[in-house]
Structure 1
Amino acid sequence: MAVLAGGCFWCVEAVYKQLDGVSSVRSGYAGGTAETADYQTVCGGTTDHAEVVEVRYDPAKIGFGQILKAFFSIAHDPTQLDRQGPDVGRQYRSAIFYTTEGQKRVADSYIAQLDRAKVFDRPIVTEVAPLERFYEAETYHQDYAARNPLNPYILFNARPKVEKVRKHFADRLKGAASRS
């Protein structure tokens, strides 16, 4: 399982739903100090939670490294501090909430490699922190992009990311093996 924060969870969820080996993606909240989290309080800025996605995957089909590759190359811009595109606030920060020390090592190493290679023009601001607790988001947030494909926010923010993942991860998409 991977728990990632990269701006609005609708967009990040839409990216990971495309990938083969990903069995489920749930939108939620993590990384805050309050004992509970819901959309209203998280967006109110009083809990310090981030909008996140919980990605469950089969490591025999897709590894944590590939999950991170999609995260850093498509799902969000890791150089934006406390914002992604039109969404501004700490709840939209870039973060990896690790569940094992192995995930922490891989995440730290991946970020260091990107920094050394100067992949981005600005410094990466992605936080790497332990997952304390995941709070599932409200039902209406789950699978939002798929259920609301004509929503203007989805058209301008999530759809380009889905198209990019389909182009750059064509061999890793659900059903790709059956098409070859």
Structure 2
Amino acid sequence: MTKRFFFLAFRGRRGVLAAAVAITALLWQCMAWSSGGAEDAVKIPPPARDEAAATVHAETAVLAGGCFWGMQGVFQHVNGVTGVVAGYTGGSAQNANYNAVSGGDTGHAESVEVVFDPTKVSYGTLLQIYFSVAHNPTELNRQGPDSGTQYRSAIFPRSAAQQQVAQAYIAQLNAAHVFAAPLATRLEKGDFYPAEAYHQNYLTNNPEAPYIVINDLPKVAALKQIFPALYRDDPVLVKVQESSYRLPPI
């Protein structure tokens, strides 16, 4: 039972029975595939190599690590982050939409574009959060109950400096055997395309949705526990139209 099935079951609004069936099946599947939640959060060493001291107040990072609902929700709670947009990276503009990407053959990964102030939080620190609490970097083409290349672990560096930091950090973590398995994270190239409005701020707008409760809220809790100095209570939200789709109360 994937995130897509759960989302479509509710969005179709076909009645309480369909919603109940979707929730029940999702709960069983999430218990069977619990990877990607708080139990995977680990304290890891910071990167030995980071970007040089910042002289600007705005930089962008593009990261993919499973469902973008949780990835966005985590980074929206990080001090120094000024904006996080959920979207698609790795494919073309023509197929940068949820229906196409969900098929798994567009080249896109569900991703987030993180705008941050490098004088307050460094790119290397964002990667430390990415590897430790935002997702499980050892899983190949899956996170928790979701499987497919669109859920792969991937970093899309926006500069040569980011490329070097990310590459060195992956090598550092692998050499230290921080995780039980080698990192599956890939460094890739690709343009970022924002996702549909109804995907933005999804965790904040739907905190009682079973998928969010099981898979994503524990990651935000882990961020607060492992990185208390970097955690902010009020998330930095994307401004979207009021007509954007939102799940009904459960």
TM-score (norm 2): 0.68
Deviation per residue, 1:98-152 (Å, 9 max, x gap): 110100000000001100110011111101112x311100000001000000000
Alignment of 1:14-163 (within 5 A): 14-33=73-92, 35-130=94-189, 132-163=190-221
Partner AA of 2:83 in structure 1: S
Query: Are 2:93 and 2:193, in contact at CA under 8 Å, matched by a contact in 1?
Result: no
Q: CA deviation at 1:32?
A: 1.9
Task: Kindly indicate whether structure 1 or structure 2 has the higher relative contact order, using CA contacts under 8 Å at least 6 residues apart.
Answer: 1
Partner AA of 1:126 in structure 2: T
User: Is 1:174 the counterpart of 2:216 in the alignment?
Assistant: no
Q: Tell me which residue corresponds to 2:64.
A: 5
CA RMSD of aligned residues (A): 1.3
**CA distance in 2: counterparts of 1:89 and 1:45, whole angstroms:** 6
**CA distance in 2: counterparts of 1:87 and 1:175, whole angstroms:** 28
**CA distance in 1: counterparts of 2:154 and 2:141, whole angstroms:** 10
Query: Are 2:105 and 2:149, in contact at CA under 8 Å, matched by a contact in 1?
Result: no
Q: CA deviation at 1:33?
A: 4.7
Query: Are 2:141 and 2:153, in contact at CA under 8 Å, matched by a contact in 1?
Result: yes
**CA distance in 2: counterparts of 1:158 and 1:171, whole angstroms:** 20
**CA distance in 2: counterparts of 1:168 and 1:128, whole angstroms:** 25
**CA distance in 2: counterparts of 1:129 and 1:44, whole angstroms:** 20
**CA distance in 2: counterparts of 1:53 and 1:157, whole angstroms:** 17
Q: CA deviation at 1:24?
A: 0.3
User: Larger % of strand: which?
Assistant: 1
Query: Are 1:20 and 1:175, in contact at CA under 8 Å, matched by a contact in 2?
Result: no
Query: Are 1:82 and 1:88, in contact at CA under 8 Å, matched by a contact in 2?
Result: yes
Deviation per residue, 1:38-73 (Å, 9 max, x gap): 000000123110000000000000000110000000
Q: CA deviation at 1:8?
A: 0.1
Partner AA of 1:95 in structure 2: A
**CA distance in 2: counterparts of 1:65 and 1:14, whole angstroms:** 19
Identity rate, percent: 49
Unaligned runs of 5+ in 2: 1-59, 235-250
Partner AA of 1:113 in structure 2: Q
TM-score (norm 1): 0.94
Which entry has the higher C-alpha Rg, 1 or 2? 2
Query: Are 1:11 and 1:154, in contact at CA under 8 Å, matched by a contact in 2?
Result: yes
Query: Are 2:102 and 2:150, in contact at CA under 8 Å, matched by a contact in 1?
Result: yes
What is the aligned residue count? 175
Identify which range, 55-64 or 165-174, moves more after superposition.
165-174
**CA distance in 2: counterparts of 1:33 and 1:125, whole angstroms:** 23
